[in-house]
Structure 1
Amino acid sequence: MFTTRPAVRRRALVAPGTAVTLALVLAACGSSGESSSMPGMDHGATAATSPAATGSPSKDSPSKGHMPGMDHMAGGDGLASAEDGYRLGSPNATLAAGERTAYRFTVTGPDAKPVTAFALDQTKRMHFYAIRTDLTGFQHLHPTMAADGTWTADLSALAPGSWRMFASFTPDGGAGKGTAFVLSRAVTVPGTEKRTPLPAAAARARVDGYTVTVQGEPMAGMSHPLTVTVTKDGRPVTTLQPYLDTYAHLTAFHEGDTAFAHLHPTTRVDGDHGGPRLAFDAELPTAGNWRLFLQFRAGGELHTAALTLKVG
């Protein structure tokens, strides 16, 4: 059967697409649970850095920058806190380091009232992402909403540094009904920061005993298929399990400004029979280094692979 998704309106593109066909290293750690919270990733939760992009003028300000979509992708590069009358607000400008903490936020509509009706997107009404500006510390959560429209994302421990919090959603009413949005705000975690260089690209890597190979060739300004192959002990894996109505969830962040991209495979979902190959039809808006986080479920556990993609 096919993955079911809501009908989503997308905005016009501004920047040319960049193919996401690649041959890269995956350096990963695994975890279980639907919260998809993977603090620290390959660098560990205590490793934090803050690149020069911290002062990007687009942060927390309205923007009309957009990026291309594929079978399902929220519109925009995610660097604005407001767009088309919708605004992401939060009382949390800083969060404590080294301990679990709650990030609270609301989405208001063109009428300045909190939005409480959201469409299901990959089985969830809200997808929330936390990323440090050195592209480490990735967390993907599904927060809970109170009756007044206040969302709470329960974050795992954050390392000191500059972070960005992304909310991906589709209103189920009002002027933005059926339109996918990604909005974000910057957050500071006080403490001593540690720089972690972005890992270099390579052909493949082992992830919790799995070998993940990503094949293709990135080319700026073009859309091209991407193939991900999953093996274990030299044998093809054909038992990938559905995760959020698909066999793999792929999120990408751009080095320097943490621009957001959200990609999904075009492979049909047929029970616990995913793999060994997953097909993507993906684009990224700009050249440079992107850090991709590939999440897939196998053996009853959620595995997360981090990879660096260089787009020319």
Structure 2
Amino acid sequence: MSITSRFPLRRRGLAAAGTAAVLALALAACGSSKGSSGSSVPGMDHSSAPSASASSPSMGSMPGMDHGSTATGDGLAAGKDGYQLTSTVGELPAGKAGDYTFTIKGPDGKPVTGFAEDQTKRMHFYAIRSDLTGFQHLHPTMAGDGTWTAGLSALEPGSWRVFASFTPDGGTGKGKDLVLSRTLTVPGDAKNTPLPAATSSTEVDGYTVTVKGELMAGMAHPMTVSASKDGKPVTDLQPYLDTYAHLTAFHEGDQAFAHLHPETKVNGDHGGPDLSFHAMLPKAGNWRMFLQFQTGGKLHTAALTLRVS
């Protein structure tokens, strides 16, 4: 599976021992919705990696993971622990940008307006097509009444799933990382793209990203992601969202969600060439990973397939 670039990002520990989704690899940056900075990868094709225009520790105690590991669960439900992702948007037109509006309701049934910052953002929003193409990562904006707006780039026809990743800043869920999702339909002639075969490296924007380490479902294993360019180690990775790497992964077949950060501590614009992770994926099979990292003020995004036995 090839990994290529998206380096900075996110936190918190795998919950539910043996089932929490932990995936550690990543390379910078999130896409941004209207009014927020970041990057998205509209219509990402499986056949090529997109660019942005687009000692294993015990669970719950992973040394060096200052930002935490991953949110609890696989993100495939619209509700969890009394919190609910609600939206009146069930369909968006194909081929043009569109707004996805939504609200997070708390256990009291009222819209939540207090959110803690995670990697400098109060909300991370993702969109992925059922064949694991078209990945977008945005930072929506919230109105005073708790309504969030994510400005999605043009979507290809097909079935999509959108994820909201957040941490309540009050109430019964205070301090808890949550990921909720809903499905979205884009009408038109949907043509699925076969998932690329698993590989250990990939290229994007002239960078080569290589992954070393083997993953087994439900078990934490060390993993290293290395970046090079023109055959030389990359040592100028820049911090983005408080870290050098950001990784989001989706499981083939059900779109289960996982998100992790490198253990490597941030030291100015001197990240790389190696980023260390402790990765644990709860399910066997293929996972499509989207990595983002930043160099020279530019965000790069790479996609690759990782096989978990």
- The Cα offsets for residues 140-183 of structure 1, whole Å up to 9 and x where unpaired, read as 00000000000000000000000000000000011110011000
Residue 90 of structure 1 is matched in structure 2 by 87
Structure 1 spans left out of the alignment, 5+ residues: 46-67
- The Cα offsets for residues 39-58 of structure 1, whole Å up to 9 and x where unpaired, read as 1223489xxxxxxxxxxxxx
> Residue 24 of structure 2 contacts residue 259 of structure 2 at CA under 8 Å; is this kept in 1?
no
**Matched letter for residue 220 of structure 2:** S
Residue 39 of structure 1 is matched in structure 2 by 42
1:206 to 196, 203, 207: 203
- The Cα offsets for residues 96-153 of structure 1, whole Å up to 9 and x where unpaired, read as 1100000000000000000000000000000000000100000000000000000000
- TM-aligned CA distance change 1:10 to 1:113, over 3 Å: farther
Residue 255 of structure 2 is matched in structure 1 by 258
TM-score, normalised on structure 2? 0.84
Residue 306 of structure 1 is matched in structure 2 by 303
1:169 to 166, 171, 193: 166
Structure 2 spans left out of the alignment, 5+ residues: 1-7, 49-58, 63-67
Residue 49 of structure 1 is matched in structure 2 by none
Instruction: Report the aligned-residue RMSD.
Output: 2.6
> Residue 18 of structure 1 contacts residue 221 of structure 1 at CA under 8 Å; is this kept in 2?
no
Query: Is the deviation greater in 212-221 or in 166-175?
Result: 212-221
Residue 146 of structure 2 is matched in structure 1 by 149
Query: Is the deviation greater in 73-82 or in 213-222?
Result: 213-222
2-side partners of 1:242 and 1:182: how far apart?
24
Q: Where do 4+ consecutive residues of structure 1 move more than 6 Å?
A: 3-6, 16-21
Aligned to 1:211, what secondary structure does the other structure show?
Answer: strand
Aligned to 2:307, what secondary structure does the other structure show?
Answer: strand
> Residue 17 of structure 1 contacts residue 223 of structure 1 at CA under 8 Å; is this kept in 2?
no
> Residue 101 of structure 1 contacts residue 154 of structure 1 at CA under 8 Å; is this kept in 2?
yes
Query: Is the deviation greater in 89-98 or in 68-77?
Result: 68-77
> Residue 9 of structure 2 contacts residue 243 of structure 2 at CA under 8 Å; is this kept in 1?
no
2-side partners of 1:9 and 1:237: how far apart?
29
Aligned runs of 1:132-281 on 2, under 5 Å? 132-281=129-278
- The Cα offsets for residues 208-231 of structure 1, whole Å up to 9 and x where unpaired, read as 001111111222332111101001
**Matched letter for residue 255 of structure 2:** T
**Matched letter for residue 104 of structure 2:** V
Percent pairwise identity: 67
**Matched letter for residue 225 of structure 2:** V
Residue 78 of structure 2 is matched in structure 1 by 81
**Matched letter for residue 12 of structure 1:** A
Aligned to 1:175, what secondary structure does the other structure show?
Answer: helix
Aligned to 1:131, what secondary structure does the other structure show?
Answer: strand
Q: Confirm or deny that 1:13 pairs with 2:17.
A: yes
- The Cα offsets for residues 224-259 of structure 1, whole Å up to 9 and x where unpaired, read as 111010011111110000111110100000000000
2-side partners of 1:76 and 1:17: how far apart?
7
2-side partners of 1:243 and 1:12: how far apart?
29
Greater relative contact order (Cα < 8 A, sep 6+): 2
> Residue 20 of structure 1 contacts residue 284 of structure 1 at CA under 8 Å; is this kept in 2?
no
**Matched letter for residue 179 of structure 2:** V
> Residue 18 of structure 1 contacts residue 287 of structure 1 at CA under 8 Å; is this kept in 2?
no
1-side partners of 2:304 and 2:188: how far apart?
27
> Residue 254 of structure 1 contacts residue 289 of structure 1 at CA under 8 Å; is this kept in 2?
yes
- TM-aligned CA distance change 1:178 to 1:254, over 3 Å: same
Aligned length: 280
Aligned to 2:45, what secondary structure does the other structure show?
Answer: helix
- Cα distance, 1:202 vs structure 2: 2.0
**Matched letter for residue 237 of structure 1:** V
2-side partners of 1:35 and 1:307: how far apart?
21
2-side partners of 1:255 and 1:274: how far apart?
31
Aligned to 1:98, what secondary structure does the other structure show?
Answer: coil
Residue 119 of structure 2 is matched in structure 1 by 122
Residue 287 of structure 2 is matched in structure 1 by 290
1-side partners of 2:40 and 2:202: how far apart?
21
